[in-house]
Amino acid sequence: MPSCKKLLKLYIMSKSKENKMDSRSLEKRLSAVRETSEDIQSLSRWCLQHKNHHHSIIQAWSRAVRKAKVHHRLTLFYVCNDIVQNSRRKKLLDLVQHFATAIKEAAPLVRDEKIRPKIIRIFNIWEERGIYDAKFISDLVEIVENVGTVNASENEIVLSSFQPVQLVEGIRGVVALEKTTESLLTDLKNQDFTLTDDEINQLRQTVKERGTSRERMEEFEEAVIALECYMASVQKEVEERTQVVTLLEQAEIFYETQRGIQKLWESSEDIENKADGENEVSSRTESSSLSNS
């Protein structure tokens, strides 16, 4: 029979695999999904099969919407529609509610008149089928329809919550968490707890007795606590890393925008300098002409 230490290691490995999901790969799938029932339903089923990772799935969807062209955003809302409707049908209410925030944040990105009617149709279906309440749907429709009240550009929407200091703090937090996780893993590996079949049977027979059996139970409890601490740290690290990835994407857009403004400013400055030079030449020519006359 395998030792409890080995079982703990196997549990850690299995949990680590569960906590890992290639959100970048999913984002690529979302970016490539075609506007066909087969493609949309296939991707929706995959997402529901990995419902335990719904936070990563929703974040990947949000990133894909921000980066997509106008018409493909409609396709991504069709994917979202299939996911939330099937989630509601299967009573996966947490997934439905967590998607609500992402949907509201993405609503300003689907105001284009080419797709607006179809987007609003999706919203109305959600209200009719009780996916989301009337107040939430009303808010979504207002965001999409009242173009004049949403003056921010898409980049401004993406950057509305971005601050460079948050990125720095996020990276520092991940580094600190990584060290904590490594330390907890070392503590877990140092847990020297094994049980043979005979010892298990003996524990069963003497479970009410104090002494050795109690010591063994205390060792087991310590091992379990160490495992729980490690898994909690891993989960926290995954969440923090996901947030940092989002901040890095916003930073990329932010600094690209800043570079664009800088280039525009330099270009306008060049034009002004050129105009000043031409005016100076023109003035000299006029003065020369007057002198000659």
Count CB neighbours of 48 within 10 A. Answer: 17
What was the pLDDT predicted at 216? 62
What was the pLDDT predicted at 3? 47
Listed in sequence order, the residues at least 6 apart from 40 whose beta carbon sits closer than 8 Å to its beta carbon are 33, 75, 78, 79, 82
What was the pLDDT predicted at 149? 44
133-166 per-position pLDDT tens digit: 999 999 999 888 875 444 445 556 555 556 777 7
Q: What percent of the chain has pLDDT over 70?
A: 62
DSSP state string for 117-174: HHHHHHHHHHHHTTSS-HHHHHHHHHHHH-GGG----HHHHHTTT--HHHHHHHHHHH
Domain extents in the chain: 21-151, 164-289
Residue 57: which of 69, 45, 75 has the closest Cα?
A: 45
Please give the mean pLDDT across all residues of the chain: 75
- Check whether 238 has a pLDDT greater than 70: yes
Place 279 in a pLDDT band, splitting at 50, 70 and 90: low
Interval 119-145 mean pLDDT:
92
Place 4 in a pLDDT band, splitting at 50, 70 and 90: very low
What was the pLDDT predicted at 270? 55
CATH tag, 21-151: 1.25.40.90
208-229 per-position pLDDT tens digit: 555 555 666 676 777 778 778 8
- Check whether 86 has a pLDDT greater than 90: yes
